[in-house]
């Protein structure tokens, strides 16, 4: 039996770039949205734009995904408001640049938290319900830089 419920897409890193473009595409297709990023002002502006332009519901969640508790907090907040996520777009991410031994350890740990641990945690949380329902989609976005080789010629040891 088909439900008349509008589907909902959750997009991390939705305040700009590819995340914003994903949000716009899903809004154009009539999906309700859950937009996640640190910048609440940017998210609210996008939410207002999409609500008026596409007539959809938009929930804004301002979270720093480098905080290990953020994925569970997002999941719990949506569970408490009975929002069902049909599509999860793990788009948030960032990179560091420089010689590995010179990059601040906290920056590297935050990178791992956002790019790997948060993505995995959100996927685990939302996938269980998708499997129970027998429907859902997940897209994990990565940079092509992830496939580029690093220095292997000893130049790091100058």
Could you tell me which residues come within 8 angstroms of residue 78 by beta carbon, excluding any fewer than 6 positions away? 10, 34, 59, 85
Distance of alpha carbon 16 from alpha carbon 151, whole angstroms:
31
For 89-146, what is each residue's pLDDT tens digit? 999 998 888 888 899 999 999 999 999 999 999 999 999 999 999 999 999 998 766 6
Give the residue with greater pLDDT, 101 vs 153: 101
Half-sphere exposure of 64 (CA within 13 A, CB side): 5
- Residue 31: beta bridge partners? none
131: exposed, middle or buried (C-beta count within 10 Å: 0-12, 13-18, 19+)?
exposed
- Give the ranges where the chain is alpha helix by DSSP (H): 17-28, 40-54, 70-80, 105-112, 119-133
Residue-wise pLDDT for 47-79, tens only, equals 999 999 999 999 999 999 999 999 999 999 999
State the pLDDT at residue 143.
73
CB 89 within 8 A of CB 11: yes
Give the chain's domains with CATH numbers: 8-143 (3.40.50.720)
Res. 158: pLDDT tops 60: no
d(CA 23, CA 25) in angstroms, rounded, equals 5
The pTM (predicted TM-score) of the whole model is 0.89
């Amino acid at each position: 039996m088909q439900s008349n419920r509008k589907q909902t897409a959750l997009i991390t890193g939705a305040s700009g770039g590819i995340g914003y473009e994903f949000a716009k595409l899903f809004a154009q297709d009539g999906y309700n949205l859950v937009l996640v990023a640190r910048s609440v002002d940017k998210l609210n502006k996008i939410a207002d734009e999409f609500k008026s332009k596409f007539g959809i519901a938009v929930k804004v969640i301002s979270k720093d995904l480098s905080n290990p508790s953020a994925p569970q907090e997002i999941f719990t907040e949506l569970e408490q408001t009975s929002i069902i996520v049909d599509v999860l777009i793990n788009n948030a991410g960032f990179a560091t640049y420089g010689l590995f031994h010179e990059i601040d350890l906290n920056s590297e740990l935050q990178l791992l938290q956002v790019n790997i641990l948060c993505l995995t945690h959100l996927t685990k949380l939302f996938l269980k319900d998708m499997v129970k329902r027998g429907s859902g989609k997940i897209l994990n976005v990565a940079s092509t830089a992830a496939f580029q080789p690093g220095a292997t010629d000893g130049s790091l040891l100058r």
